[in-house]
Structure 1
């Protein structure tokens, strides 16, 4: 089976939630993981720190490195990249997972929150890629994977939270641009997005949701693993959903990921009725390649 043994991952927002689960999935393969986040002391309202995540990574069979980093500051990103390379000898994979969310309409969105979302979401995704790329270019199977939705200019995704939507689509445009720019160099650049609401700290930011109607972050981790173990020159430029990726590699039982057995999760934002995204011809071709690779592996 394809795995991430010996690979080095640089994961932003890895102290909890989806970033942590991606890290633990890679750790079970024996990967090295730089845990990039600001939380180095226990938070009164949020679970996990960079140190507790590293302890779990080490226990799972990987090697963790806790790096307190504010990804709004490029000098801190540069220092974290340098320490990762010094410790593990390089970087094979960048996961742009960290994200700031504020689902407010325009008149209720302070510019301070607008700036935070754009600094953490769009700007930091670009800055982390820029800092990691010199090392990714030396890897034999380099990947950048960003947690952002397929670009979609339908007004419904802007009407209630324009500022947040622009910042998330900014992340997606980073994927679009870098995939084209670095295709000839063999760096895979893709985005991944959930079909349903995922149980994370951000879930509490969404008003009116019934508790328990979500999926565990493990579904994103399993889908990410399938993308990151694929050949970088063959699977790039895709805006994937978790369900579509897992179906491509033969996993169709999504009930196992439900937070509450028998309770259907809410659909996530930014996806049309074709929630898997498989009607996009480019994505369909990439999913076919992904499925062929994993069946052969």
Structure 2
């Protein structure tokens, strides 16, 4: 760990990461010289989604990282256990866990199939819990070695305004399950010196989910780029674990705290109103 590259030599394991916010966070860590394991299902090109785990790994290595690509599904215990084991074997431990993988379906209750409901629960809520839980022995060793361990989950602040549950109950349950994992683990792991936080974008982010689910091209032009989340995540992950835990951060809030005043470079389009993301009240 160096002053100018604080994630150099640190090991991050991330669910997802083939594209979008996850890839941007991993790329920011790779620029420091971090070791990165990606657990992702996309091994061959998808007709509607850019990138694969292999293209992502190549990009991260070009950025300066060392990468372990694990083609797997975080719904299955044995695959997560294998990914964690291989990460420890190759890089010597785990210092950072990023729960990035997420499934989304905003259908109302009567239209949401139980298959889709189960998928969101298994990937979002259970997947975040499973990956964090499986990494606990390695994270405790990281803490004992003073390597500043963090768990970061891409999930929203818990907003009990009933509009969110009423609009898309299945998805809200799945995302708030991720946030409850942050809340509980932060309290449970504080004595161990392991930081646990959530990060959520204040505005929509230009991603495949926004393009395919949340409004298409028009919403993309009212969005920010994934780099705003990556820069915020980097600020969180390089902060002292003992001081930075149990928070539901918004990307803009984090960057304002570290001195960012100009957010225009993160805009997809130079003009127009930005669209507030889900689970946030104006």
> What is the DSSP-based 3-state SS (H/G/I as helix, E as strand, rest coil) of the residue aligned with 2:67?
strand
Question: Retained in 1: the 8 A contact 2:36–2:66?
Answer: yes
SS of residue in 2 equivalent to 1:240: strand
Greater shift after overlay, 238-247 or 33-42?
33-42
Q: How many residues align?
A: 273
Matches within 5 A, 1:244-255: 244-255=253-264
Residue 111 (structure 2) aligns with:
108
How far apart are residue 263 of structure 1 and its match? Answer: 3.0
Match of 2:177 among 145, 170, 175: 170
Alignment of 1:1-297 (within 5 A): 1=4, 3-139=6-142, 140-203=147-210, 204-207=212-215, 210=218, 211-273=220-282
Which residues of structure 2 form unaligned runs of 5+? none
* Partner Cα separation in structure 1 for residue 10 and residue 278 of structure 2: 32
Q: Distance in 2 between matches of 1:208 and 1:38?
A: 24
8 Å CA contact retained: 1:149, 1:193: yes
Unaligned 5+ segments in structure 1 are: 274-297
Question: Stretches of 4+ moved more than 2 A in 1?
Answer: none
Provide Cα deviations, 1:79-120, integer angstroms capped at 9, x if missing partner: 000111111111000000000000010111000000000000
> Is the contact between residue 57 and residue 63 of structure 1 (CA under 8 Å) also seen in structure 2?
yes
Residue 201 of structure 1 deviates from its aligned partner by: 1.1
Find the aligned partners of 1:2 and 1:224 in 2 and give their Cα distance: 15
Contact map agreement 1:258 1:264 (CA 8 A) in 2: no
Helix, strand or coil for the counterpart of 2:192?
A: coil
Q: Secondary structure at the match of 2:97?
A: strand
What CA distance in whole angstroms lies between the structure 2 residues aligned with 1:174 and 1:2?
29
Partner secondary structure for residue 158 of structure 1? helix
TM-score w.r.t. length of structure 1: 0.90
Within 1, Cα distance between the matches of 2:139 and 2:12? 10
SS of the residue aligned with 2:62?
helix
The offset of 1:7, in angstroms, is 0.5
Counterpart CA distance in 1 for 2:117 and 2:217 is: 24
Verify the 8 A CA contact 1:2 1:229 in the aligned structure 2: no
Q: Matched residues in 1 for 2:262 and 2:160: separation?
A: 32
Asked if the contact 1:37–1:70 (Cα under 8 Å) also holds between the matched residues in 2, the reply is yes
CA distance in structure 1 between the partners assigned to 2:25 and 2:188 by the alignment: 26
Contact in 1 for aligned 2:7/2:32 (Cα 8 Å)? yes
Equivalents in 2 of 1:263, 1:25: separation in Å?
A: 28
Q: Distance in 1 between matches of 2:262 and 2:6?
A: 21
Q: Distance in 1 between matches of 2:249 and 2:118?
A: 27
Distance (Å, rounded) in 2 between the aligned partners of 1:15 and 1:209: 21
Aligned-pair CA distance for 1:49: 0.8
Shift of the alpha carbon at 1:252?
A: 1.6
